[in-house]
Protein backbone atom coordinates (compact mmCIF):
# COMPACT_ATOMS: atom_id res chain seq x y z
CA UNK A 1 0.00 0.00 0.00
CA UNK A 2 1.41 3.41 -0.97
CA UNK A 3 1.35 6.28 1.48
CA UNK A 4 -1.07 9.17 0.96
CA UNK A 5 0.02 12.66 -0.01
CA UNK A 6 -1.27 15.82 1.66
CA UNK A 7 -2.08 19.25 0.28
CA UNK A 8 -2.31 22.26 2.58
CA UNK A 9 -4.98 24.77 1.61
CA UNK A 10 -2.94 27.88 2.37
CA UNK A 11 -4.32 31.31 3.22
CA UNK A 12 -8.09 30.84 3.82
CA UNK A 13 -8.97 34.17 2.18
CA UNK A 14 -7.00 33.31 -0.95
CA UNK A 15 -7.33 30.84 -3.79
CA UNK A 16 -5.86 27.85 -1.94
CA UNK A 17 -9.27 26.45 -0.93
CA UNK A 18 -10.50 27.00 -4.50
CA UNK A 19 -7.52 25.05 -5.87
CA UNK A 20 -8.25 22.11 -3.57
CA UNK A 21 -11.88 21.99 -4.68
CA UNK A 22 -11.17 22.42 -8.38
CA UNK A 23 -8.49 19.71 -8.18
CA UNK A 24 -11.08 17.34 -6.70
CA UNK A 25 -13.20 17.42 -9.84
CA UNK A 26 -10.89 14.77 -11.31
CA UNK A 27 -9.52 11.65 -9.68
CA UNK A 28 -5.84 11.66 -8.68
CA UNK A 29 -3.56 8.67 -9.35
CA UNK A 30 -2.56 8.60 -5.66
CA UNK A 31 -4.43 9.10 -2.40
CA UNK A 32 -4.51 12.80 -1.60
CA UNK A 33 -5.75 14.44 1.59
CA UNK A 34 -6.49 18.15 1.99
CA UNK A 35 -5.56 19.65 5.34
CA UNK A 36 -8.12 22.42 5.67
CA UNK A 37 -11.20 23.65 7.46
CA UNK A 38 -14.17 21.54 6.41
CA UNK A 39 -16.41 24.53 7.06
CA UNK A 40 -14.25 26.73 4.82
CA UNK A 41 -14.28 24.22 1.96
CA UNK A 42 -18.06 23.80 2.20
CA UNK A 43 -18.69 27.54 2.03
CA UNK A 44 -16.18 28.06 -0.78
CA UNK A 45 -17.70 25.20 -2.79
CA UNK A 46 -21.10 26.86 -2.48
CA UNK A 47 -19.64 30.19 -3.57
CA UNK A 48 -18.03 28.53 -6.60
CA UNK A 49 -21.09 26.46 -7.44
CA UNK A 50 -19.08 23.23 -7.17
CA UNK A 51 -20.68 19.93 -6.21
CA UNK A 52 -17.72 18.34 -4.41
CA UNK A 53 -18.30 15.60 -1.85
CA UNK A 54 -16.12 16.36 1.17
CA UNK A 55 -15.04 13.20 2.97
CA UNK A 56 -13.69 13.77 6.50
CA UNK A 57 -10.72 11.58 7.48
CA UNK A 58 -8.79 11.14 10.71
CA UNK A 59 -5.22 10.07 11.62
CA UNK A 60 -6.34 6.71 12.97
CA UNK A 61 -8.00 5.70 9.70
CA UNK A 62 -6.36 7.16 6.61
CA UNK A 63 -8.02 6.15 3.33
CA UNK A 64 -6.43 3.28 1.42
CA UNK A 65 -7.44 4.32 -2.10
CA UNK A 66 -7.69 7.61 -4.04
CA UNK A 67 -10.92 9.58 -3.71
CA UNK A 68 -13.31 9.23 -6.67
CA UNK A 69 -13.66 12.13 -9.08
CA UNK A 70 -15.86 14.81 -7.57
CA UNK A 71 -14.80 14.10 -4.00
CA UNK A 72 -12.04 15.18 -1.63
CA UNK A 73 -10.59 13.67 1.53
CA UNK A 74 -10.32 16.37 4.22
CA UNK A 75 -8.42 16.35 7.50
CA UNK A 76 -10.52 18.97 9.24
CA UNK A 77 -8.50 21.78 10.82
CA UNK A 78 -10.53 24.45 12.60
CA UNK A 79 -10.31 28.08 11.57
CA UNK A 80 -9.53 30.59 14.31
CA UNK A 81 -11.97 33.12 12.83
CA UNK A 82 -14.56 33.12 10.03
CA UNK A 83 -12.88 33.36 6.61
CA UNK A 84 -14.14 35.50 3.76
CA UNK A 85 -12.80 35.22 0.23
CA UNK A 86 -10.49 38.13 -0.52
CA UNK A 87 -10.36 39.54 3.02
CA UNK A 88 -7.29 38.79 5.12
CA UNK A 89 -7.62 38.24 8.86
CA UNK A 90 -4.51 37.95 11.07
CA UNK A 91 -6.51 35.81 13.50
CA UNK A 92 -6.18 32.94 11.01
CA UNK A 93 -2.39 33.10 10.90
CA UNK A 94 -2.12 30.29 13.49
CA UNK A 95 -4.58 28.20 11.45
CA UNK A 96 -2.33 28.40 8.39
CA UNK A 97 0.71 27.32 10.39
CA UNK A 98 -1.23 24.47 11.99
CA UNK A 99 -2.02 23.02 8.56
CA UNK A 100 1.67 23.23 7.63
CA UNK A 101 2.75 21.66 10.91
CA UNK A 102 0.33 18.76 10.53
CA UNK A 103 1.54 18.11 7.00
CA UNK A 104 5.23 18.44 7.79
CA UNK A 105 5.15 16.28 10.90
CA UNK A 106 3.12 13.65 9.06
CA UNK A 107 5.77 13.50 6.34
CA UNK A 108 8.53 13.32 8.95
CA UNK A 109 6.98 10.40 10.82
CA UNK A 110 6.32 8.44 7.64
CA UNK A 111 2.55 8.88 7.56
CA UNK A 112 2.58 10.82 4.28
CA UNK A 113 4.67 10.38 1.14
CA UNK A 114 4.95 14.12 0.53
CA UNK A 115 3.27 17.49 0.92
CA UNK A 116 2.01 19.98 -1.64
CA UNK A 117 1.34 23.52 -0.45
CA UNK A 118 -1.13 26.13 -1.66
CA UNK A 119 -0.02 29.77 -1.29
CA UNK A 120 0.16 31.56 2.05
CA UNK A 121 0.27 35.28 2.79
CA UNK A 122 3.49 36.07 4.66
CA UNK A 123 2.41 39.57 5.66
CA UNK A 124 -0.79 38.62 7.46
CA UNK A 125 0.98 35.85 9.39
CA UNK A 126 3.50 38.42 10.60
CA UNK A 127 0.65 40.78 11.47
CA UNK A 128 -0.60 37.99 13.75
CA UNK A 129 2.61 38.41 15.73
CA UNK A 130 4.26 35.27 14.31
CA UNK A 131 7.67 35.73 12.65
CA UNK A 132 7.34 34.02 9.25
CA UNK A 133 9.43 34.51 6.12
CA UNK A 134 8.01 31.70 3.99
CA UNK A 135 7.27 28.00 3.56
CA UNK A 136 10.92 27.20 2.86
CA UNK A 137 12.25 28.62 6.10
CA UNK A 138 9.32 27.33 8.18
CA UNK A 139 9.77 23.75 6.98
CA UNK A 140 13.52 23.91 7.51
CA UNK A 141 12.90 24.80 11.15
CA UNK A 142 10.15 22.19 11.55
CA UNK A 143 12.37 19.43 10.21
CA UNK A 144 15.51 20.65 12.02
CA UNK A 145 17.26 21.09 8.68
CA UNK A 146 20.24 23.44 8.79
CA UNK A 147 20.25 24.34 5.11
CA UNK A 148 17.51 24.07 2.49
CA UNK A 149 17.38 25.29 -1.08
CA UNK A 150 14.47 26.88 -2.93
CA UNK A 151 14.14 25.73 -6.53
CA UNK A 152 11.46 26.59 -9.05
CA UNK A 153 10.98 24.48 -12.15
CA UNK A 154 8.98 24.55 -15.33
CA UNK A 155 9.30 22.74 -18.64
CA UNK A 156 12.89 23.10 -19.78
CA UNK A 157 14.20 25.17 -16.85
CA UNK A 158 15.07 24.72 -13.18
CA UNK A 159 16.30 27.66 -11.09
CA UNK A 160 17.70 27.25 -7.56
CA UNK A 161 18.62 30.11 -5.23
CA UNK A 162 21.65 30.73 -3.04
CA UNK A 163 19.67 33.30 -1.01
CA UNK A 164 15.88 33.50 -0.79
CA UNK A 165 13.77 36.14 0.97
CA UNK A 166 16.36 38.80 1.74
CA UNK A 167 16.27 42.55 1.07
CA UNK A 168 18.57 43.34 -1.85
CA UNK A 169 20.86 45.40 0.39
CA UNK A 170 21.66 42.24 2.42
CA UNK A 171 22.35 39.87 -0.46
CA UNK A 172 26.05 40.52 -1.11
CA UNK A 173 27.07 39.94 2.51
CA UNK A 174 25.04 36.70 2.54
CA UNK A 175 26.95 35.25 -0.42
CA UNK A 176 29.68 33.43 1.49
CA UNK A 177 31.83 30.55 0.28
CA UNK A 178 30.32 28.30 2.93
CA UNK A 179 26.73 29.06 1.92
CA UNK A 180 27.45 28.73 -1.78
CA UNK A 181 29.15 25.36 -1.30
CA UNK A 182 26.37 23.98 0.92
CA UNK A 183 23.62 25.11 -1.46
CA UNK A 184 25.39 23.68 -4.49
CA UNK A 185 25.97 20.32 -2.81
CA UNK A 186 22.28 20.10 -1.85
CA UNK A 187 21.17 21.04 -5.36
CA UNK A 188 23.48 18.47 -6.91
CA UNK A 189 22.49 15.72 -4.45
CA UNK A 190 18.75 16.18 -4.98
CA UNK A 191 19.05 16.42 -8.77
CA UNK A 192 20.71 13.02 -8.56
CA UNK A 193 18.67 11.43 -5.77
CA UNK A 194 15.18 12.88 -6.28
CA UNK A 195 15.15 13.72 -9.98
CA UNK A 196 17.24 10.81 -11.26
CA UNK A 197 19.84 12.88 -13.16
CA UNK A 198 23.07 10.88 -13.09
CA UNK A 199 25.48 13.76 -13.73
CA UNK A 200 23.77 17.14 -13.38
CA UNK A 201 25.16 20.10 -15.29
CA UNK A 202 24.63 23.33 -13.33
CA UNK A 203 25.06 26.88 -14.66
CA UNK A 204 25.99 29.43 -11.99
CA UNK A 205 25.09 33.13 -12.15
CA UNK A 206 27.54 35.80 -11.06
CA UNK A 207 26.36 38.22 -8.39
CA UNK A 208 27.29 41.46 -10.11
CA UNK A 209 26.51 42.83 -13.58
CA UNK A 210 28.71 41.12 -16.19
CA UNK A 211 29.80 38.72 -13.40
CA UNK A 212 31.91 41.51 -11.93
CA UNK A 213 33.64 42.60 -15.17
CA UNK A 214 36.99 41.26 -14.00
CA UNK A 215 36.66 43.01 -10.65
CA UNK A 216 35.64 46.43 -12.01
CA UNK A 217 31.96 45.91 -11.05
CA UNK A 218 32.53 44.03 -7.81
CA UNK A 219 35.00 41.49 -6.49
CA UNK A 220 32.63 38.83 -5.10
CA UNK A 221 33.14 36.65 -8.17
CA UNK A 222 36.93 36.74 -7.85
CA UNK A 223 37.22 36.48 -4.08
CA UNK A 224 34.26 34.21 -3.16
CA UNK A 225 32.37 32.61 -6.02
CA UNK A 226 35.14 31.38 -8.34
CA UNK A 227 37.24 29.77 -5.56
CA UNK A 228 34.15 28.04 -4.13
CA UNK A 229 33.18 26.66 -7.54
CA UNK A 230 36.73 25.39 -8.06
CA UNK A 231 36.56 23.43 -4.80
CA UNK A 232 33.18 21.98 -5.78
CA UNK A 233 34.49 20.93 -9.18
CA UNK A 234 37.24 19.03 -7.36
CA UNK A 235 34.41 17.02 -5.71
CA UNK A 236 33.13 16.01 -9.14
CA UNK A 237 30.25 18.48 -9.46
CA UNK A 238 29.88 19.82 -13.00
CA UNK A 239 29.57 23.60 -12.79
CA UNK A 240 29.75 26.29 -15.46
CA UNK A 241 30.30 29.86 -14.33
CA UNK A 242 30.06 32.29 -12.81
CA UNK A 243 28.30 33.66 -15.88
CA UNK A 244 26.67 37.08 -16.40
CA UNK A 245 23.01 36.61 -15.51
CA UNK A 246 21.78 38.78 -18.38
CA UNK A 247 23.18 36.37 -20.98
CA UNK A 248 23.07 33.09 -19.07
CA UNK A 249 19.34 32.60 -19.71
CA UNK A 250 19.64 32.11 -23.45
CA UNK A 251 18.61 29.00 -25.39
CA UNK A 252 22.19 28.12 -26.31
CA UNK A 253 23.34 28.12 -22.68
CA UNK A 254 20.25 26.36 -21.34
CA UNK A 255 20.15 23.64 -24.00
CA UNK A 256 22.35 21.20 -22.08
CA UNK A 257 21.71 22.52 -18.58
CA UNK A 258 19.93 20.66 -15.78
CA UNK A 259 19.63 23.61 -13.40
CA UNK A 260 20.64 27.24 -12.97
CA UNK A 261 21.95 28.46 -9.63
CA UNK A 262 21.04 32.13 -9.11
CA UNK A 263 22.51 34.25 -6.35
CA UNK A 264 19.26 35.91 -5.26
CA UNK A 265 15.49 35.71 -5.64
CA UNK A 266 14.84 38.34 -8.30
CA UNK A 267 17.88 37.38 -10.36
CA UNK A 268 16.57 34.00 -11.44
CA UNK A 269 12.86 33.75 -10.71
CA UNK A 270 11.55 36.49 -13.04
CA UNK A 271 13.02 34.58 -15.97
CA UNK A 272 11.51 31.29 -14.86
CA UNK A 273 8.10 32.82 -14.19
CA UNK A 274 8.11 34.56 -17.55
CA UNK A 275 8.81 31.22 -19.19
CA UNK A 276 6.38 29.08 -17.22
CA UNK A 277 4.03 31.07 -14.98
CA UNK A 278 0.97 28.98 -14.24
CA UNK A 279 2.82 25.79 -15.15
CA UNK A 280 5.72 25.88 -12.71
CA UNK A 281 6.43 24.32 -9.34
CA UNK A 282 8.31 25.45 -6.23
CA UNK A 283 10.43 22.67 -4.70
CA UNK A 284 12.25 22.73 -1.36
CA UNK A 285 15.51 20.82 -1.71
CA UNK A 286 17.55 19.47 1.17
CA UNK A 287 14.61 18.52 3.38
CA UNK A 288 14.22 14.97 4.69
CA UNK A 289 10.70 15.10 3.21
CA UNK A 290 9.16 15.82 -0.20
CA UNK A 291 7.62 19.28 -0.47
CA UNK A 292 6.37 21.06 -3.59
CA UNK A 293 4.22 24.12 -4.04
CA UNK A 294 2.45 26.25 -6.61
CA UNK A 295 4.50 29.04 -8.15
CA UNK A 296 2.04 31.86 -7.46
CA UNK A 297 0.57 33.84 -4.60
CA UNK A 298 -2.76 33.97 -2.82
CA UNK A 299 -4.51 36.01 -5.58
CA UNK A 300 -7.00 37.51 -3.14
CA UNK A 301 -8.85 39.30 -5.94
CA UNK A 302 -9.62 35.96 -7.61
CA UNK A 303 -10.65 33.98 -4.53
CA UNK A 304 -14.16 32.65 -4.90
CA UNK A 305 -14.44 33.87 -8.50
CA UNK A 306 -13.88 30.58 -10.32
CA UNK A 307 -11.48 32.39 -12.68
CA UNK A 308 -8.28 30.64 -11.68
CA UNK A 309 -5.91 28.24 -13.39
CA UNK A 310 -5.00 24.99 -11.64
CA UNK A 311 -2.03 24.30 -13.93
CA UNK A 312 0.66 25.06 -11.35
CA UNK A 313 -1.04 22.90 -8.73
CA UNK A 314 -1.15 20.00 -11.17
CA UNK A 315 2.57 20.38 -11.89
CA UNK A 316 3.24 20.52 -8.14
CA UNK A 317 1.30 17.29 -7.64
CA UNK A 318 3.06 15.52 -10.50
CA UNK A 319 6.48 16.66 -9.23
CA UNK A 320 5.75 15.44 -5.70
CA UNK A 321 4.71 12.05 -7.08
CA UNK A 322 7.92 11.88 -9.14
CA UNK A 323 10.20 12.91 -6.27
CA UNK A 324 8.70 10.35 -3.91
CA UNK A 325 8.98 7.56 -6.45
CA UNK A 326 5.22 6.94 -6.30
C-alpha dist (Å) from residue 68 to 24, 112, 247, 322: 8, 19, 48, 22
- Give, as one character, the DSSP assignment of residue 84: B
| 158 labeled part of a ligand binding site | no
Which CA distances in Å does 322 have to 48, 120, 140, 160, 283? 31, 24, 21, 18, 12
Coil, helix or strand at residue 159: strand
The response to whether 165 counts as a known ligand-binding position is: yes
Nearest alpha-carbon partner for 281 in 318, 308, 306, 254: 318
Q: Which helix (H) or strand (E) holds 116?
A: strand 114-117
Annotated binding-site residue? 296:
no
Task: State the Cα–Cα distance between residues 290 and 275, nearest whole angstrom.
Answer: 24
Judged by phi (left if over 0) then psi (alpha if -120 to 50, else beta), residue 74 lies in beta
Half-sphere exposure of 71 (CA within 13 A, CB side): 11
Find, among 159, 116, 151, the residue nearest to 317 by Cα: 116
Instruction: Tell me if 219 is assigned to a ligand binding site.
Output: no
Task: Using DSSP, state whether 90 is helix, strand or coil.
Answer: helix
Tell me: is residue 135 an annotated ligand-binding position: yes
**Ligand-binding site membership of 188 (annotated):** no
- Residues in the annotated binding site for a divalent metal cation: 165, 210, 265
- Residues in the annotated binding site: 135-136, 165, 210, 265, 273, 282, 291
- Residues in the annotated binding site for substrate: 135-136, 273, 282, 291
Amino acid sequence: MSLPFVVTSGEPAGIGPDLCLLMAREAQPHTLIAIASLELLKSRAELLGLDIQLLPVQPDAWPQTPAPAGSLYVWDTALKAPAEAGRLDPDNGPYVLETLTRAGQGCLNGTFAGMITAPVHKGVINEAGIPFSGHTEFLAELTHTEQVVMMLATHGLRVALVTTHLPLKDVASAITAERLERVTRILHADLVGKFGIARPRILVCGLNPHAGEGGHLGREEIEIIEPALARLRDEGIELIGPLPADTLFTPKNLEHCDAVLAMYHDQGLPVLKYKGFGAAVNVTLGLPIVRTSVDHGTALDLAGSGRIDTGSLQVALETAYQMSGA
